[in-house]
Amino acid sequence: MATGNGGRPAPAEAVILVGSGKGGVGKTTVALNLAVALAQQGARVGLLDADVTAPDIPLMTGLVRRAPAKSWMLSRPGGVEMTPLRPLERFGVQVMSSGFLIGENQALAWMADLSELALTQLIFSSDWGGLDFLFIDLPPGTADTTQALIRLLPDSTALVVVTADDAAHADTRKLLALYASTRTRVLGGVENMSRFACPCCGTETELFRPVAAERSIWASGVRRLGTIPLEPRPADAGSRPTVLATPGSAAGIALLELAAAVRAAATDPA
């Protein structure tokens, strides 16, 4: 069992930080689909939405809280105190997010120290029930939340998500430098929305100008675990992730293959 900071037991055998150097690369979508895919295979899986100021997991799982919370958090002098909460189950995954504590349109403006205290509570005080895998959806970049989670869960591993463009790779190389400086093991990377797959004829179209090999994260030694195409989402898919809504599509197959690769990498003791 992995351990957290201070010797506290981590909530899962394998904790995987899903991060990206920049926003807009589909990191949250990848994290959700990975969690659901492994849960469908019988693993005990949790998903923590660590973007405390802009949580998207509730909306993507259909677990949005409409009414604003009147009183849900107190601080000082003993830090943050939260009403004990259990993760909510969705698609077989135990899901936890700060979005469950506030209304959909309710602003959350926390300083870095309060964000870290809240994350500590969400990780270590939630009744996860004993997990094989906990996926943590990070906010983009290398700022306070990412650094806090590395401190809180020093035995965690990382998966990075990029699109096939220079900016995504350049920014993610900075995230990789942070992981290297903190000795965080990087399982590999996934290239999302790498091409457009036409659902009618199957023709694939590149969406970005190719990244120069020397500027890509792959040149840094990151193992490419998967490549996910972009496909139109069926109108009747609702809040179901791709691996449930269209598992036989090009994106669905690629995500299921990615889940198998991530599982193998995460359970490899190397």
Cα–Cα distance measured from residue 64 to residue 259, given in angstroms and rounded to the nearest whole number: 26
More confident residue, 82 or 20: 20
- The contacts of residue 95 (CB under 8 Å, 6+ apart) are 46, 47, 49, 57, 61, 63, 87, 88, 89
Mean pLDDT of all residues in 37-52:
94
Give the C-alpha separation, 40 to 82, whole Å. 31
Q: In this structure, are residues 251 and 229 in contact, taking their beta carbons and an 8 Å threshold?
A: yes
Where do the domains of the chain lie? 10-267
Q: How many residues does the chain have?
A: 270
User: How many whole angstroms separate alpha carbon 192 and alpha carbon 27?
Assistant: 8
Instruction: Give the pLDDT confidence score for residue 76 in this predicted structure.
Output: 40
Judge whether residue 78 has pLDDT over 60: no
What is the rounded CA–CA span in Å between residue 25 and residue 114?
27
**Residue 109 predicted with pLDDT over 70:** no
Residue 96, C-beta contacts closer than 8 angstroms, at least 6 positions apart: 46, 47, 48, 49, 85, 87, 88, 122, 126, 128
* pLDDT, tens digit (0-9, with 9 covering 90-100), for 137-189: 999 999 888 999 999 999 999 999 999 999 999 999 999 999 999 999 999 99
Mean pLDDT of the region 86-105: 83
Task: Tally helices (H) and strands (E) across the chain.
Answer: 7, 11
For domain 10-267, the question of CATH label 3.30.505.10 is answered with no
